[in-house]
Amino acid sequence: MENTFTVKGMSCEHCKKSVEKALNSLKGIKNIDVDLKQETVTIEHDKSVTFKKMKNIVKNAGYKLIKN
């Protein structure tokens, strides 16, 4: 599965890396592409990774994940 979401709160490369690190900690994430300028993240994942899981892990890193 592949989904693109908006990420609020990112302003620099450190923010981008924090979001990537948080999402990569979830089992079932296959690929992540964070676009700092567009404030989006495209996530390739298996069905075990729910939006709720992704939203919570990003929130714990200090950012907000929003369904487009």
pLDDT at 34: 97
pLDDT at 68: 87
- Which strands form 64-67's sheet, in the order they lie side by side? 29-35, 40-45, 2-8, 64-67
pLDDT at 51: 97
pLDDT at 63: 98
Which among 46, 35, 41, 47 is positioned nearest to 55, based on CA atoms? 41
pLDDT digits (tens, 9 = 90+) for 10-60: 999 999 999 999 999 999 999 999 999 999 999 999 999 999 999 999 999
**Domain 2-67 carries which CATH code?**
3.30.70.100
